[in-house]
Amino acid sequence: MAIPAGYKSILDSLTTAVIVLRDGLQIQYLNPAAESLFETSMTRSQGAPINDILIDSEDALKTLYAAAENGQSYTRREAEFVLTSGVRLTVDYSVSPISLDPTELLIEIQPRDRLLRISREEDIISQQETTRILVRGMAHEIKNPLGGIRGAAQLLDRELNNEDQKEYTQVIIAEADRLRSLVDRMLGPNKAPKLASTNIHEVLERVKTLLEAESRGRLSFRRDYDPSLPEFQGDKEQLIQAFLNIARNAMEAAFENQAEKSGNEQPTITFRTRALRQFTIGHKRHRLVCRVDVIDNGPGIPPELLQNVFYPMISGRASGTGLGLSITQSIIGQHHGLVECESEPGKTDFIIFLPLEDNQ
């Protein structure tokens, strides 16, 4: 059954993705929102089975067949669709038989990824603020008595004539200094960013050069840059430190994976940049945002650790301090950006978002 022109114009104007299926779950119609969502076109997909554009579980396809046969309507919340390109989408969708022809199904799809991401980012920003307040309060309570301990140890050191006894006071002074340094690092940068025109690719190239020197040629780099990205107002030195913290962790993970597998796979880090338009970070929508992916082929981050990697003192390595990623998140936050992480065995992707619209 052809869709009447009046209805088609309405469906074409919707932001909700709409698919009409006929017998055998063949695609009869996709509105523009569905074309965009499924990365295809009406001309290309018309008459093709639904699994030509969508890799879904067998149970989901069986339910669609049952709906077509029995005229059943149903709704799924936060279901996962996998496109033939491998892209995963989280969606809410409803399936309804069309009253004029019950053998046809109308599927209405609302993408949830954007809303879930915004909600997740708001949680991350809220957690960061809570952590920052907690750390600053704890730092104040630690540094005050540390100053008194160090001062008392210095006074005692001056009064002592026995060098063996002075050794103990020197240990107290050194440990007090070490703890003070640790607390300062937990607090992150204590200076406001010195904003100047900054090129993100210069930052990444500097990080690459530093890691090449550290790895002595054992680390492979892949670069996938978007040359159209404009410069933006940022603190170049702080950003180098932020990206270096991420990339150094990626390097160590890649080396660990190679050692565990004892294979020929080269430890590799990928730097990728892309421009995103009309993108929301936290509560604010930005006209133009730079997305930077730092990807390694290491073993991945355990799921129980993934949600907490940006907290101070959280580390997956015995030798790690757990401060690098916390400092990175603080620096990127000062630039009104955000850091996220996605990980699976063999691939960890740290995703950095930095607003660029001030340069437009």
The CATH number of the domain holding residue 58 is: 3.30.450.20
Residues 221 and 330 in one domain: yes
Write down which residue in 166, 187, 208 finishes a domain. 187
Residues 179 and 250 in one domain: no
**pLDDT value at residue 272:** 95
Residues 103 and 175 in one domain: no
Burial 29-59 (b: 16+ CB within 10 A, else e): bbbbbbbebbebeeeebeeeebeebbeeeee
**pLDDT value at residue 160:** 86
**pLDDT value at residue 209:** 93
Residues 157 and 226 in one domain: no
Residues in the chain predicted with pLDDT less than 70, given as ranges, are 1-7, 55-60, 85, 99-102, 114, 116-118, 120-121, 124-125, 128, 132, 185-190, 257-264, 310-323, 358-360
Write down which residue in 111, 131, 146 finishes a domain. 111
Residues 147 and 209 in one domain: no
Using a 10 angstrom Cβ sphere, with 0-12 exposed, 13-18 middle and 19 or more buried, the burial of residue 349 is: middle
**pLDDT value at residue 349:** 93
Residues 353 and 224 in one domain: yes
Residues 209 and 251 in one domain: yes
Find out whether 308 and 325 touch, Cβ atoms under 8 Å: no
Residues 245 and 332 in one domain: yes
Write down which residue in 75, 95, 111 finishes a domain. 111
Residues 208 and 288 in one domain: yes
Residues 332 and 209 in one domain: yes
CA 102 – CA 96 distance, rounded (Å): 9
Starting at the earlier edge strand, list the strands of the sheet with 88-98.
Answer: 26-30, 17-22, 101-111, 88-98, 74-83, 54-55
Instruction: Give me 360's structure tokens.
Output: 């437009």
Domains in the chain, number = 3
| 248 alpha carbon, distance to own chain's centre | 17
Domain, as residue range, for 171: 116-187
Q: Taking the model in full, what pTM does it have?
A: 0.61
**pLDDT value at residue 199:** 95
**pLDDT value at residue 130:** 73
Q: What is the CATH number of the domain that holds 337?
A: 3.30.565.10
Residues 40 and 175 in one domain: no
Residues 174 and 219 in one domain: no
**pLDDT value at residue 264:** 64
